Amino acid sequence: MRLYMFYFVGLLFIQCDMPYKGKHTEEKSVNKEVLNPSENFGLVIHGGAGTILKKNMTDSLEQAYRDKLEEATKAGHTILSNGGTSMQAVTAAINIMEDSPLFNAGKGAVFTHKGTNELDASVMDGKTLNAGAISGVTTVKNPINLAVAVMNKSEHVMLSAQGAEQFAKEQGLKIVDPQYFYTERRYKSLQKIIEKEKTELDHDTKVSFMDPFIKDSKYGTVGCVALDKYGNLAAGTSTGGMTNKRYNRIGDAPIIGAGTYANNASCAVSSTGWGEYFIRGMVAHDIAAMMEYKEITLQEAAHTVIQEKLTKLGGTGGIVSIDRQGNVAMEFNTAGMYRAHMNAAGDLDIKIYKND
Amino acid sequence: MRLYMFYFVGLLFIQCDMPYKGKHTEEKSVNKEVLNPSENFGLVIHGGAGTILKKNMTDSLEQAYRDKLEEATKAGHTILSNGGTSMQAVTAAINIMEDSPLFNAGKGAVFTHKGTNELDASVMDGKTLNAGAISGVTTVKNPINLAVAVMNKSEHVMLSAQGAEQFAKEQGLKIVDPQYFYTERRYKSLQKIIEKEKTELDHDTKVSFMDPFIKDSKYGTVGCVALDKYGNLAAGTSTGGMTNKRYNRIGDAPIIGAGTYANNASCAVSSTGWGEYFIRGMVAHDIAAMMEYKEITLQEAAHTVIQEKLTKLGGTGGIVSIDRQGNVAMEFNTAGMYRAHMNAAGDLDIKIYKND
């Protein structure tokens, strides 16, 4: 019962989240709220960071990315504008990117060393600190929806592999044949990396992030953070992980605090980058903690964590984030990051390169 | 290569961690250190928290717990005293608890709904912020050793299930038949819970933590945090998770920031409790962040996070922690927590109940 109910006056708003069970029973009382919606809302999305350079991009490919970022941002914005929750906006925006082969999530997921596609995702609700995460699923069309189902319909926060898939089936989520995730582009990336490994004994890990479209390394992953009219934050992240990943590796995307974090006391964050460093740096939670405990702005906290702490650790990537005042930060230490922001007034800002 | 060479004479101490690859190259410069060892060191261990009441405990069982806690603490202390690293002490102390059927980790791991034993573990090195974690392994005798191997010998932070087991085999770790983890006590717990589920439609999740030995709920998990003579912190956590767990559930033990965190800038923390709440509360990292950013003591940060924030969220359990000055906090909001602390002077403090 911490920060909810801060706007009062009239109007009864029935929250659209699914009913809570188990871990959530103490929060049942927040399902009905008397609200006076604010006109301050907004969302930010990302579609991955990396060595994304104009010189390696064709006009048509760049336009395809811009179009899809716009579509995803507008889908989330429409929900927020119509009084939907930040979690609904996050899910809708991510679904559009998951369904596109352009991004390393859902349909466009990269291949593991074995030639399979193993997907990870997580979500967090800033009002209740409720969270859901899944790792290593191979048959779930929209992993972010499964993360939401784990959050709302299970007693757990994180499910994995076959167990997560069984839960997805029981919840009636859209199941696809693993072949659905086959895209020629991603399969060629895998072959190229395996070929490179054969000729380079001391190969650089970065080849695992090779993306032939941009002719350099890119960290896939899509994500969205949103602030709704009720002052509630939410964050979500979905990914196919690293091309050529082995040993059922789990990156930062399904790790609460690393890939995803949301807390109405501070901000909502979604990460994209070299997952190992984002876990070690606890990037998403560290930004929120710095902001809350040091009482600095979101922009200051995001800058310090990405440009100073993560960079010092040797990690690369970026984050998108938003706070309860609608301030946003889109911070990265790579050449580019697919990103877009839309505020309550409907101003849309789509960027790819560092100097956009 | 675990407890390798912790005896040394001479000025130059060659760190015995295995050579770094990939993610660790930027830290090579710390491998050789000219040291002036401090005489301030210590460690704290836990063997689980829960409704552990004197009235439900026999004298002989209590003595068995006290003896094993003493053995584990002294093993770690001997390493630290002889100039070993905090990570070596953490591993040695946890191995002893993993090999005992008394604790829910390694040999004494609880059963999943399917009647299998799925083990999780993680470690973190406070000097380098390097980390290793594994989830859902069924054949690795000492999961904490696999977490250390992931940290030191792979490019990843977190591996899971069959992939993690394959990596364990490649690294020459001790592999056992899954039958090794069968203990009558834990199997009876599972049967009791399944029986209870049949008769209770709206069953309480807490039954999943039922422990017939103490006739009430207990969160298993063992953990250790240590400060070595070189001023370096380390933390580790190992568990069998929840009895009757389904869907390849992952709890907080293998989640860096939730179950385990270590950072020389603040403290080392190992958690035990209802994992879902520890993930949502980012308990281990939150204690470290509060301490660093609010500039409060370890004890103040641990108290706030466990007694105020975790309790408000509805979570139960506890943590053990240590900072670079050797200050410790053993904080829990349950009736008891198996715990022990030993400082540089060799003062040993073993406690079980709240009012011990």
Rounded mean pLDDT, B38-64: 92
Are B129 and A313 inside 8 Å of each other by CB? yes
User: Which of A160, A274, A313 has its CB closest to that of B248?
Assistant: A160
CA–CA distances in Å: residue B67 to residues B47, B72, B92: 12, 9, 16
Contact predicate B39/B81, CB 8 Å: no
Among the options B85, B91, B221, B243, which is catalytic?
Answer: B221
Residues pairing with A222 in the sheet: A238
Q: Write out the H or E segment, with its range, that includes residue A237.
A: strand A233-239
Predicted complex ipTM exceeds 0.90: no
Q: Is residue B80 over pLDDT 50? A: yes
The answer for residues whose C-beta is within 8 angstroms of residue B68's C-beta and 6 or more apart is B47, B96, B97, B100, B102, B103
CA distance linking residue B90 with residue B329, whole number of Å: 16
Nearest CA in chain A to B26: A314
Q: If you ran DSSP here, which 8-state letter would residue A110 be given?
A: P
CA distance A28 to chain B (A): 12
Contact predicate A2/A30, CB 8 Å: no
At residue A106, the 3 state secondary structure works out as helix
Region of B188 please: left (phi>0), alpha (psi -120 to 50) or beta: alpha
Are A257 and B282 inside 8 Å of each other by CB? yes
**Angle at Cα B243 formed by Cα B239 and Cα B247, nearest 5°?**
90
Which chain A residues have a beta carbon less than 8 Å from that of B163? 246-249
CA distance linking residue A245 with residue B159, whole number of Å: 10
Which chain B residues have a beta carbon less than 8 Å from that of A122? none
**Angle at Cα A126 formed by Cα B256 and Cα A69, nearest 5°?**
90
CA distance A100 to chain B (A): 28
Q: B291 phi and psi, to 5 degrees?
A: -65, -45
Contact predicate A87/A125, CB 8 Å: yes
CA distance B349 to chain A (A): 32
User: Which of B159, B166, B293 has its CB closest to that of A289?
Assistant: B293
Contact predicate B53/B216, CB 8 Å: yes
Q: Write out the H or E segment, with its range, that includes residue A144.
A: helix A143-153
Which chain A residues have a beta carbon less than 8 Å from that of B160? 135-136, 160-161, 247-250
Measured from the Cβ of residue A179, the count of other Cβ atoms closer than 10 Å reads 7
User: Which of B129, B250, B289 has its CB closest to that of A160?
Assistant: B250
Measured from the Cβ of residue B28, the count of other Cβ atoms closer than 10 Å reads 10
The predicted pLDDT at position B200 comes to: 59
CA distance linking residue B301 with residue A126, whole number of Å: 22
Residue reference for tokens 């059922």? A248
The predicted pLDDT at position B216 comes to: 59
A149-159 burial code (b ≥16 CB/10 A, e <16): bbbbbbbbbbb
Are A136 and B161 inside 8 Å of each other by CB? yes
Contact predicate B330/B351, CB 8 Å: yes
Which one of A20, A277, A293 would you mutate to disrupt binding with B, by most B Cβ within 10 Å of its Cβ?
A: A293
Measured from the Cβ of residue B192, the count of other Cβ atoms closer than 10 Å reads 16
At residue A204, the 3 state secondary structure works out as coil
Nearest CA in chain B to A310: B129
User: Which of B26, B162, B279 has its CB closest to that of A248?
Assistant: B162
Nearest to A264 by CA among A41, A3, A50: A3
Q: Is residue B285 over pLDDT 80? A: yes
Least confident segment among A258-272, B133-147, B207-221: B207-221
Residue positions counted in chain B: 356
Which has more confidence, B200 or B122?
A: B122
**Structure-token pair, residue A327:** 């301030």
The answer for residues whose C-beta is within 8 angstroms of residue A35's C-beta and 6 or more apart is A7, A8, A11, A12, A13, A229, A230
Q: Is residue B25 over pLDDT 50? A: no
Relative to beta strand A267-273, strand A317-323 is antiparallel
Nearest to A124 by CA among A28, A233, A221, A197: A233
In order of start, what are the domains of chain A with their CATH numbers? 38-183+211-353 (3.60.20.30)
Distance of CA A132 to the CA centre of its chain: 12
Contact predicate B248/B241, CB 8 Å: no
CA distance linking residue B286 with residue A71, whole number of Å: 36
Q: Write out the H or E segment, with its range, that includes residue A146.
A: helix A143-153
Measured from the Cβ of residue A329, the count of other Cβ atoms closer than 10 Å reads 26
**Structure-token pair, residue B224:** 């250790």
Are A250 and B129 inside 8 Å of each other by CB? no
The predicted pLDDT at position B193 comes to: 78
CA distance linking residue A333 with residue B331, whole number of Å: 38
List average pLDDT for each run of 10 residues in chain A, which is 356 residues long: 38 36 40 58 96 88 96 98 98 98 92 89 98 96 98 95 96 95 85 74 49 62 97 97 87 97 98 95 98 98 98 96 98 96 97 94
Sign, Cα dihedral of B163, B169, B170, B174: positive
Contact predicate A331/A319, CB 8 Å: yes
Which chain A residues have a beta carbon less than 8 Å from that of B280? 124, 129-131, 157, 256
Active site residue B85: no
Q: Is residue B162 over pLDDT 60? A: yes
**Structure-token pair, residue A152:** 């709302």
Contact predicate B303/B288, CB 8 Å: no
Among the options A85, A91, A221, A239, which is catalytic?
Answer: A221
Give CB contacts under 8 A, 24+ apart, made by B289-297. Answer: B289/A285, B289/A286, B289/A289, B289/A290, B289/A293, B290/A289, B290/A293, B291/B266, B291/B267, B291/B323, B292/B263, B292/B265, B292/B266, B293/A289, B293/A290, B293/A293, B293/A294, B294/A293, B294/A294, B297/B327
Q: If you ran DSSP here, which 8-state letter would residue A310 be given?
A: I
Nearest CA in chain B to A170: B247
Q: A44 phi and psi, to 5 degrees?
A: -135, 140
Relative to beta strand B158-160, strand B130-137 is parallel
CA distance linking residue A289 with residue A246, whole number of Å: 32
Sign, Cα dihedral of A331, A332, A335, A340: negative
Least confident segment among A107-121, A139-153, B29-43, B126-140: B29-43
Residues pairing with B127 in the sheet: none
CA distance linking residue A74 with residue B38, whole number of Å: 59
CA–CA distances in Å: residue B262 to residues A154, A279, B132: 30, 12, 12
CA distance linking residue A46 with residue A318, whole number of Å: 9
User: Which of B124, B157, B255 has its CB closest to that of A276?
Assistant: B157
CA distance B189 to chain A (A): 20
The predicted pLDDT at position B190 comes to: 82
Q: Is residue B31 over pLDDT 60? A: no
CA distance B64 to chain A (A): 33
pTM for the full model?
A: 0.89
Which chain A residues have a beta carbon less than 8 Å from that of B25? 314
> Helix/strand/coil (H, E, C) string of chain B?
CCCCCCCCCCCEEECCCCCCCHHHHHHHHHCEEECCCCCCCEEEEEEEEECCCHHHCCHHHHHHHHHHHHHHHHHHHHHHHCCCCHHHHHHHHHHHHHCCCCCCCHHHCCCCCCCCCCEEEEEEECCCCEEEEEEEECCECCHHHHHHHHHHHCCCCEEEHHHHHHHHHHCCCCECCHHHHCCHHHHHHHHHHHHHHHHCCCCCHHHHHEECCCCEEEECCEEEEEECCCCCEEEEEEECCCCCCCCCEECCCCCECCCEEECCCCEEEEEEECHHHHHHCCHHHHHHHHHHHHCCCHHHHHHHHHHHHHHHHCCCEEEEEEECCCCEEEEECCCEEEEEEEECCCCEEEEEECCC
